[in-house]
Amino acid sequence: MSETNRRAVMLGGALGALAFMVEGREVWLTPRQAHAEGVVMRVLDAGEVETLEAMGETLLPGARKAGIANFVDHQLVVPPGDCLLMARIANVLPPFANFYHAALGGIEKASQAAHGKRFAALTGAEQYDFVDRLRQNKIEGWQGPPPPFVYFLLRHDAVDVTYGTVEGIESLGIPYMAHILPEQRW
Amino acid sequence: MATNEKVDVVIVGAGASASVFACVLAKAGKKVVMLEQGPDWHLEDLISSEIWGRRLKTVAPVSLEGKDRLGYSYNAGWGSGGSAMHYFAMFPRLLPSDFDMKSRYGRGLDWPFAYDDLAPYYDRVAEDIGISGDAEAESRWRPKGKPYPMPPIKSFRHGDLWLKGFEALGITMARSTVAINSTEYKGRPACIYDGWCDTGCPTGALANPHMAYLGEARKKGAELRPFSSVTRVLTNPAGDKVTGVEYYDQKHERQVQEASLVILAAFVAQNPRLLLNSATDKHPNGLANRNGLVGRYIMAHTGATIWGLFDEADVQNYMGVVGPMHWSYDRYGKTARKDAFGSILWHCSPALKPNDIGGIANSRNDLFGQALVDFIKRGSRQLSRVQAFGEELPNADNRLELIGQKDAFGFPMAKITHSYDKDAIGVWEQATEEGLAIAKAAGAKESWAIRPAPTIHMAGGTAMGKSAADSVANGFGQTHEIGNLWISGVTLFPTEGAVNPTYTIYAMSLRAAEHLAANWSTIAS
């Protein structure tokens, strides 16, 4: 069998989907689509979503529209054994929501303490400086998981949702070459 | 609670080692049951995505402590096939000097058998599962064995471009040995070099356990029960025999599987934890633990990791396999470095994807914002990597212990404490410096090293040896204390060398399983 034909065979393999809840119904969407359609979050509250999206965008421009908050929120709903977050393989003990609540809460407390404003309300330069200090564990009075680990995981989430997808890889001009396409082009 | 019909053998786990025992014993006519904590994967479940590939890895079952905490979940498996579902299929052998370090150098521990005892099994595993490589080139570093059944895999520019650098440092490279088909083999196709090996190869070109011993075992009647979490090994009142295991099924209902023989074939956290959690009045410190060695001597490999950005327009780094194309044992000598004892294995280079631990973005964890975007764009065609696995000596203080926290079934969880010693760090530092010199000589326009030393692979925890005084099991994995309680796999390693463990796991499991089958009546009765 030629390589091309074999790849085509594998592309016909098992496809699934990410199931988002929209108006009480399960709808199969990519996180990018879920973000665009304003799908309601199930674990993260509005403040946490705002912080996560602002952090994601600071860490990697494009992460907000790629649906970082929808992706993370969706993965916090599923059982730990089905979870696809980097937290799973970075030895975070489940439930993973505990980590995100603590991390995003820590960012807000630190932002309020340093600037008297929410992280999402900081200027671009202030957000950049905040993340740079988070990365280097230089935030005074930090309350939450170790700051470099928060940086590490949220940055991974941003990269996953922006460049770990079919669209993301192909946007770099390199072929995705899937044996089996991820569910809903993930 | 349900008690299942007694079987000949119950195996805890369904990874590489378990699959060999299941295959050999099922072929010998034994009734075999494998209890796997995770799902039962099939080829059609394997999705080419670093994100989806995480399903093949365990959710942290253990608390991690120490100066150099283990990267446990990344290395461990979850589901049938175990960690060999997401491994890189890189198949170096240990060398003769790895088996008698204590006798030869006064360092580490001796294995209870020699390289020559294992060599025929290395050769047979190559035939059984399909290995591509150049045995003639390897004979520069090890006793000559049989040729591999397939020629080496293809090389790509992102690997070949390092050869100039290695040559400049006087390091002879050879084509790597991998459990990936370079040609069709036993009805399985050749690799198409898409670089998704670690997310689970769905074509069958990569020899995961399903493609080899596990598939054979099931054809011969071995039963695999997924979502079965084993909590204890059960013993008779006298404490001199095991009678089976207790486990919880997918509905969290308690089950007992009685068996004539129990084999623990789980990973570094679970094999010792099960022994400790199975304590009775006859075994108050846990099973096979009179000498207090269960849980000790846990090891990892350091990884001197050097990244290079090259000026070439496209080094094809998105193609190939995730294991290496080239490698060298030239620096493997354990006394080759100043003031630091231990081996290293150089290898290059993996196919890269933008995300995940080994991906492009993570190679520069300091970058974020637009700088990260720019780096990912450049790196997606111009980045490559060399790495040297570094040996860590067994240290009794690197250990697993039970803690007060309980799991979903009410049994104590475990913590693993791990710190590298000065030898491991010294070997890693010197390899890192050499790697940076290799990058410069290879023409990299920018090069950098990953710091601090990562923890790659895991081994130890139930070390085998010749004496019941200083080991948990003998050279076949039979525990010294209870004759029908066996251990298999990487937890038996007394030392780890500087090579990926799976080829050795397969070879020593085949040796042990055939010994068990041949002596079944005396061992299991």
pLDDT tens for chain B, 525 residues: list them: 788 999 999 999 999 999 999 999 999 999 999 999 999 998 878 888 999 999 999 997 899 999 999 999 999 999 999 999 999 999 999 999 999 999 999 999 999 999 999 999 999 999 999 999 999 999 999 999 999 999 999 999 999 999 999 999 999 999 999 999 999 999 999 999 999 999 999 889 999 999 999 999 999 999 999 999 999 999 999 999 999 999 999 999 999 999 999 999 999 999 999 999 999 999 999 999 999 999 999 999 999 999 999 999 999 999 999 999 999 999 999 999 999 999 999 999 999 999 999 999 999 999 999 999 999 999 999 999 999 999 999 999 999 999 999 999 999 999 999 999 999 999 999 999 999 999 999 999 999 999 999 999 999 999 999 999 999 999 999 999 999 999 999 999 999 999 999 999 999 999 999 999 999 999 997
**Which amino acid appears at position B377 of this protein?**
K
Q: State residue A25's pLDDT score.
A: 80
Spatial CA neighbour of B416 closest among B291, B273, B275: B273
Alpha carbons A93 and B270: distance in angstroms, whole number: 16
Alpha carbons B255 and B2: distance in angstroms, whole number: 5
Alpha carbons B424 and B402: distance in angstroms, whole number: 26
pLDDT category at A9 given cuts 50, 70, 90 is very low
B residues 196-215 lying closer than 8 A (beta carbon) to A: 196, 201-203
Taking CB atoms and an 8 Å limit, are A131 and B368 in contact across chains?
yes
**Mean pLDDT confidence for A71-91:** 94
Indicate the residue of A14, A59, A175 with minimum beta-carbon distance to B45.
Answer: A14
CB neighbours of A38 closer than 8 A, spacing ≥ 6? Answer: none
Dump the DSSP string for B177-203. -BSB-SS-BTTBPPP--BS-GGG--SS
For residue A12, give the chain B residue with the closest CA: B44
A residues 69-128 lying closer than 8 A (beta carbon) to B: 80-86, 88-94, 128
Task: Kindly state whether A179 is in contact with chain B, defined as any CB-CB distance less than 8 angstroms.
Answer: yes
Dump the DSSP string for B246-264. EEE-TT--EEEEEEEEEEE
- At residue A12, does pLDDT exceed 50? no
Answer for the pair B175, B133: CB distance below 8 angstroms, yes or no: yes
User: Which DSSP letter does residue B52 get?
Assistant: G
Indicate the residue of B57, B60, B381 with minimum beta-carbon distance to A174.
Answer: B381
Taking CB atoms and an 8 Å limit, are A169 and B354 in contact across chains?
yes
Indicate the residue of A1, A61, A89 with minimum beta-carbon distance to B369.
Answer: A61
pLDDT per position as a tens digit, A152-181: 999 999 999 999 988 899 899 999 888 776
Taking CB atoms and an 8 Å limit, are A89 and B74 in contact across chains?
yes
Interface mutation target, options B41, B47, B376, chain A, most CBs of A under 10 Å: B47
Q: State residue A185's pLDDT score.
A: 47
Supply the angle between the helices A68-77 and A46-59 in degrees, to the nearest 10.
Answer: 130
Burial A20-32 (b: 16+ CB within 10 A, else e): beeeeeeeebbbb
CB < 8 Å to A179, chain B: 46, 48, 194, 196, 201-203
Helix or strand run (H / E) with residue B232: strand B229-235
Alpha carbons B40 and B48: distance in angstroms, whole number: 18
- At residue A13, does pLDDT exceed 80? no
B residues 376-435 lying closer than 8 A (beta carbon) to A: 376-377, 380-381
Please report where in the chains the tokens 């079919």 appear, as a residue: A166
ipTM: 0.95
CB < 8 Å to B73, chain A: 88-91
How many residues are present in chain B?
Answer: 525
CA distances from residue A14 to A17, A167, A185, B17, B190 in whole angstroms, order as listed: 10, 20, 12, 28, 22
Taking CB atoms and an 8 Å limit, are B368 and A89 in contact across chains?
no
Answer for the pair A111, A130: CB distance below 8 angstroms, yes or no: yes
Q: State residue A19's pLDDT score.
A: 75
CA distances from residue A160 to A94, A95, A169, B47, B217 in whole angstroms, order as listed: 20, 20, 10, 15, 37
Spatial CA neighbour of B246 closest among B10, B449, B41, B62: B10
Answer for the pair B35, B79: CB distance below 8 angstroms, yes or no: no
Please report where in the chains the tokens 């496209």 appear, as a residue: B314
- At residue A183, does pLDDT exceed 80? no
pLDDT category at A30 given cuts 50, 70, 90 is confident
pLDDT per position as a tens digit, A89-142: 999 999 999 999 999 999 999 999 999 999 999 999 999 999 999 999 999 999
The pTM for the full model equals: 0.95
For residue B358, give the chain A residue with the closest CA: A156
